Amino acid sequence: MLKIISVVGARPNFMKVAPIHRAVSARDDMEHLVVHTGQHYDAIMSDAFFRDLDLPKPARFLGVGSASHAQQTAKILVEFEKACLELEPDLVIVVGDVNSTMAAALVASKLNIPVAHVEAGLRSFDRTMPEEVNRAATDAVAQWAFVTEPSAIANLVSEGWPRDRVLFVGNTMIDTLVRALPEAKEQAGLDELGLEAQSYALVTIHRPSNVDDLAQLSSMVGFLEWLAEQQPVVFPLHPRTRKRLAEHGLLEKLESHTQIHALAPLPYPRFLGLMASAKLVVTDSGGIQEETTYLQVPCVTARTTTERPVTCEQGTNRLCAPEPAALREAVTAVLAGGASGTIPPYWDGLAAERIVEHIRDLRERGQLGVSRP
């Protein structure tokens, strides 16, 4: 029995790990355990994610909580090492680019446990983003790279990865989307918002560069007020964004605006339903660039770089400097002409099955042995 641990720590990780869990659990020669670091943790939302995505109860909950990057990473290093020593996995799978991803990969590598990075090789080439540092550090210690798009292959090969360890499998977040979409459309809750499909913009803003600086945050609020004059805005507030808005006296302005629906964080199915029915999405998220590409919904990303270039080259995503004038111009162009695109290769709901087949092949070739300290 091959024992596999997948690590989750923040909201996007759940969507990426859930299909892997189902694909591994369908085999009788593999065991799959989930370790939840608690990097981002809200009891109600976390329970909802496990329920909505059919994830098992975590084998270990590390409870590291929010803190500075250094403190959070240090706690994960200590606690995940204990979990690995107790559970003795044959393979650790890490996904995405959060602190939990990098810390768990480092622990497993030092314990001589093979590490597979799902969503490896993505690069924005902007080292001011913590996620970019996490991506590069994780790939530096991983043994296997499961990639979502061609740019990731080129990036890893240029960094010295042997080509046979870079495996193009597709996108497990799209696996989750494909599975959840029929029910999600029914859970969008447009009636309770007084909205109709294709009549509103969905907005998510949470990156420190957009919300931690008062001047930038104020300019984004000004843009949202302009956008609400064009069409209603649905704005689920990330906890970080809500906190910064409240600190600077801007939250009430948004919550009292008749055309802006400032909401609490939403369960995944409802958020997906709202995204699928939106006329336009404005975001600074990474994963939403991918989801809108699959859904063929126009997306304006308030960033100057993206680690997911396929969403711009083939998908419906448009990069835009996070400045009001540039955002207004981009949104006006999208509303006037929409956005066309294609779905990238292997974004078909079957990425997790490909990952498990590669793991099976690696095992049969004797490439997943563990040399325990």
Phi, psi dihedral angles at 31 (to 5 degrees)? -120, 135
Taking each helix axis as running N to C, give the angle between helix 43-52 and helix 11-25, from 0 to 180 degrees, rounded to the nearest 10: 30
Of the candidates 93, 78, 77, 85, the one whose C-alpha atom is nearest the C-alpha of residue 31 is: 93
3-state class (DSSP) for residue 36: strand
CB 212 within 8 A of CB 130: no
Alpha-helical (H) ranges within 120-213 are 130-141, 150-158, 172-186, 190-193, 208-211
CB 167 within 8 A of CB 147: yes
Q: Using alpha carbons, list the distances in angstroms from residue 59 to 9, 63, 156.
A: 13, 13, 32
DSSP H or E run through 102 = helix 99-110
Of residues 32, 206, 248, 257, which has the active-site annotation? 206
Q: How far, in Å, CA of 176 to CA of 15, rounded? A: 6
DSSP class of residue 303?
B
Q: How far, in Å, CA of 293 to CA of 277, rounded? A: 13
Of the candidates 60, 341, 345, 21, the one whose C-alpha atom is nearest the C-alpha of residue 176 is: 21
Residue 117 known to be catalytic: no
3-state class (DSSP) for residue 55: coil
What sign results for the dihedral spanned by CA atoms 114, 117, 122, 124?
A: negative
- The residues that are catalytic are 206
